[in-house]
Structure 1
Amino acid sequence: MKIHDLITTTAALEDLCGRLATSDFVTVDTEFMRENTYWPELCLVQIANTEEAAAIDPLADGIDLTALWDLLCDNEDVLKVFHAGGQDVEIVYNFTGKTPHPIFDTQIAMMAVSQSEQIGYANLVESWLGFTVDKGARFTDWSRRPLTDRQIEYAIGDVTHLSAIFPKLLKKLFKTGRGVWLDAEMEKLADPANYANNADEAWQRIRAPSRNATVLGRLKALAAWREGEAQHKNIPRGRIMRDETLADLASHPPKAQGDLVKVRGLSAAWKDNDIGKRLMKVLEKAEPLPTDEMPDKPKRGAPLGKEGALVADLLKLLLKIRAREIDVAARLLTRSDEMEALAAGARDLPVLQGWRYEVFGKDALELVEGRLGFGVEKGRLKMTRIEEEPAASSTEAVSAE
């Protein structure tokens, strides 16, 4: 495989992307810094196919990344392969408002061919290629220039190894017939809605202090305001205010700006500075949360009752058995809340549809409806069908009397 020098010019990038545009797939990875900023700072992009690999320097003076974004987001003929690519996709979205498509994530794919739910990149390489990745450069400062040869070699290794693994993984998916299982998961990863930063929804990431509409209205207003402040200053939202402090202000709003000095987690300077003034205006204008935005009531205790909770536990046991039998990650089949809903009588569930029904949902439904049980054979749990005894004939009934 040809390894290029660090790409630092628009012309070199356009040439590279022109060649890669004829590939069946490219593997992609990024290096970024986000510890001290609101927006992740893209420091390096690595890309490869089976013939060549390169690292692209997005911080190089005058470089235009348009050719790269066109390849990743607009070329539907080239499959873009990532490993645990959520943050990489987020970065592309932040630059372009679009996501790479079509897309394939090897971490997600591994759930269909093994019981690994979040296999790390180093373990993936060791499993498929048989050697250990040197992760020594992982936590270096990727924003500092010039980059060292060791940093570039480490970064490009991520995509060259992935370009060797992907065809092997794809072959196994075809052999097992499980590729179709992943279609919806990959489309979900590529859905731009997952990466849109809607400030009005930021409050939903914070543990709600209560279900009082007035309190939640203040929480929503404060969370949206904090997003705006953090974006404007390009600093992490926690540097403006921690979640706990924000929730406390929503529950116990100060009557005057001077009272901010009493709020745990805020600097005493807030009692008379500009940011404190802006905060007080937000609290004054906050309105109760509309009824249609109120969160669902939290579950308390055992919502299924004792018997229903036991059925849910049996379903979870069945899930473990089935996942082990077919060597698949349990999380790809279903989730705990879905099994609880099934135990409670719900039937309009993803686990009872499509391939999930054939692989697991059919057995889960039979367990709930009493047609499936558990047995032990040679010290191992297994599923057993429960045959209904035929009803006694009328002749036998008379004889019994």
Structure 2
Amino acid sequence: MQIHPLITTSEALAELCERLSKAEFVCVDTEFMRENTYWPELCLIQIADDKEAAAIDPLARDIDMSPLLDLLVDNEDVLKVFHAGGQDVEIIYNLTGKTPHPIFDTQIAMMAISQSEQIGYSNLVESFLGLQIDKGARFTDWSRRPLTDRQIEYAIGDVTHLSKIFPKMLQRLIKTGRGVWLNIEMEKLADPANYKNDPDLSWQRIKAAGRNPAMLGRLKALAHWRELEAQDKNIPRGRIARDETVADIASHPPKTQADLAKVRGLSAAWKDNEIGRRMMAALESAKPLTDQELPPRTPRGAPLGKEGALVADLLKLLLKIRSREIDVASRLLARSEDLELLAAGVRELPLLQGWRYEVFGKDALDLVEGKTAFAVVKNKLKMAHIDEIGGSEPDAVE
């Protein structure tokens, strides 16, 4: 594979992108800094196909990044391959208002061909290529210039290794017939809605107890205010106020600005400064959420009770057994909360639809309905239909 020197000119980048635009896939990674900023600062982009690889310096003077961004978000003929690519996709969305498409994430794909739920990149490389990655440059300040040869080599390695792993992973997916399992998961990753920093929706990220419309209205107003403050100052939103502080103020609003001095998590100076005044103005403008704005209630069946809780435990045991039998990450098959809902009587669930129903959901439903039972077969715990183990229909779990 040809490894190019660090690309710092528009001409070299345009030539690279012209060649890569004809590739079947490109592997992409980014290096960025965001510890002290609201918006992540893009410091380096690495890209490779199966023939060449390069690192691109977006901080280089006068470099035109549009050929690369066009390749990533507008060229539908080239598959974009990432590993744990959520933050990389977010950066590209912030630059373009679009997400890469079509997209493939090797961390997600590993869930369909192994029991690994969130495999790290180093473990992925070791598993497929038998290589140990040098982690010495992992904590680099990527915004500093010049970058050393070792830093650039480390960064490019993320995509050169991935370009060798992806075809191997694709072969395993084709062999097992599980590629279709990942379509929905990949589309979720590419959904632009995941990356919008809409101040009006920022309250939905904050955990708050209850569904009181007035309290949630205050939470919405405060979160909106905090988001605008953080964007304007380009600092992490937690530097303005932590989530738990915002939720506490929404639940127990101060009557006057002077009361802000008593709020845990806020500076006492807020009792008479401008940012404190802006927070109080946000609180005063808050309106209760309408019925349409209230978050949907979590679907519920009958209360679980002791029997239902035991059924949920049996479903979780079945999930572990099935995950081991077919060598797939259990989280890809079903979520723990969905199993509890199934035990409580809910039937409109992802695990009872599509391929998940065929692979796991049908047996899970049979277990709930008393059509199957656990048995030890050749020293292994398995689930079988009642007629297969020669027993009578089991009593209800108590």
Range class of TM-score, shorter chain: over 0.9
Partner Cα separation in structure 1 for residue 210 and residue 154 of structure 2: 48
Q: Residue type matched to 2:280 in 1?
A: M
Q: Structure 1: 5+ residue runs without aligned partners?
A: 392-401
Q: Residue type matched to 1:375 in 2?
A: A
Q: Residue type matched to 1:344 in 2?
A: A
Q: Which residue of 2 aligns with 1:394?
A: none
Give 1:345 deviation, angstroms. 2.0
User: Could you give the per-residue CA deviations for residues 309-345 of structure 1, whole angstroms, max 9, x where no partner exists?
Assistant: 2111111111110110000001111111211222222
Partner Cα separation in structure 2 for residue 129 and residue 158 of structure 1: 13
Partner Cα separation in structure 2 for residue 339 and residue 254 of structure 1: 41
User: Could you give the per-residue CA deviations for residues 201-233 of structure 1, whole angstroms, max 9, x where no partner exists?
Assistant: 211222215432222211110011000000000
Partner Cα separation in structure 2 for residue 150 and residue 103 of structure 1: 29
Q: Which residue of 2 aligns with 1:133?
A: 133
Q: Is 1:100 aligned with 2:100? A: yes
SS in 1 for 2:328: coil
Q: Residue type matched to 1:335 in 2?
A: R
Q: Which moved more, 1:115-124 or 1:277-286?
A: 277-286
CA RMSD of aligned residues (A): 1.9
Q: Residue type matched to 1:379 in 2?
A: N
Moved over 4 A (4+): 296-300
Q: Which residue of 2 aligns with 1:212?
A: 212
Partner Cα separation in structure 2 for residue 34 and residue 123 of structure 1: 25
Partner Cα separation in structure 2 for residue 251 and residue 385 of structure 1: 51
Length-normalised TM-score, structure 2: 0.94
User: Could you give the per-residue CA deviations for residues 271-316 of structure 1, whole angstroms, max 9, x where no partner exists?
Assistant: 222111111111111111222323356799x931221221111111
Partner Cα separation in structure 1 for residue 253 and residue 345 of structure 2: 43
SS in 2 for 1:55: strand
Equivalences for residues 247-262 of structure 1 within 5 A = 247-262=247-262
Query: 1:23–1:49: 8 Å Cα contact kept in structure 2?
Result: yes
Q: Which residue of 2 aligns with 1:398?
A: none
Q: Which residue of 2 aligns with 1:73?
A: 73
Partner Cα separation in structure 2 for residue 298 and residue 88 of structure 1: 31
Give 1:347 deviation, angstroms. 2.1
Q: Is 1:187 aligned with 2:187? A: yes
Equivalences for residues 1-400 of structure 1 within 5 A = 1-295=1-295, 303-387=303-387
Partner Cα separation in structure 2 for residue 295 and residue 73 of structure 1: 32
Q: Which moved more, 1:245-254 or 1:225-234?
A: 245-254
Q: Residue type matched to 2:152 in 1?
A: I
Give 1:358 deviation, angstroms. 1.2
Q: Which residue of 1 aligns with 2:396?
A: none
Give 1:136 deviation, angstroms. 1.2
Q: Residue type matched to 2:113 in 1?
A: V
Query: 1:371–1:387: 8 Å Cα contact kept in structure 2?
Result: no
Partner Cα separation in structure 2 for residue 357 and residue 264 of structure 1: 48
User: Could you give the per-residue CA deviations for residues 223-268 of structure 1, whole angstroms, max 9, x where no partner exists?
Assistant: 1100000000000001111122212221222222222222222222
Partner Cα separation in structure 2 for residue 100 and residue 372 of structure 1: 45
Partner Cα separation in structure 2 for residue 167 and residue 299 of structure 1: 41
Q: Which moved more, 1:191-200 or 1:78-87?
A: 191-200
Query: 2:375–2:381: 8 Å Cα contact kept in structure 1?
Result: yes
Query: 2:98–2:192: 8 Å Cα contact kept in structure 1?
Result: yes
Partner Cα separation in structure 1 for residue 26 and residue 298 of structure 2: 44
Query: 1:43–1:143: 8 Å Cα contact kept in structure 2?
Result: yes
Q: Residue type matched to 1:283 in 2?
A: L
Partner Cα separation in structure 2 for residue 337 and residue 268 of structure 1: 41
User: Could you give the per-residue CA deviations for residues 343-398 of structure 1, whole angstroms, max 9, x where no partner exists?
Assistant: 22222222122111111111111111111110012332011211299x9xxxxxxx
Name the CA shift for 1:299/1:341 in 2 (closer, same or farther; >3 Å): closer
Give the aligned length.
390
Name the CA shift for 1:299/1:170 in 2 (closer, same or farther; >3 Å): closer
Partner Cα separation in structure 1 for residue 270 and residue 101 of structure 2: 46
Name the CA shift for 1:93/1:335 in 2 (closer, same or farther; >3 Å): same
Q: Structure 2: 5+ residue runs without aligned partners?
A: 393-398
Query: 2:260–2:266: 8 Å Cα contact kept in structure 1?
Result: yes
What percent of counterpart residues are identical? 75
Partner Cα separation in structure 1 for residue 62 and residue 360 of structure 2: 54
Partner Cα separation in structure 2 for residue 30 and residue 99 of structure 1: 14
SS in 2 for 1:29: strand
Q: Which moved more, 1:101-110 or 1:268-277?
A: 268-277
Q: Residue type matched to 1:44 in 2?
A: L
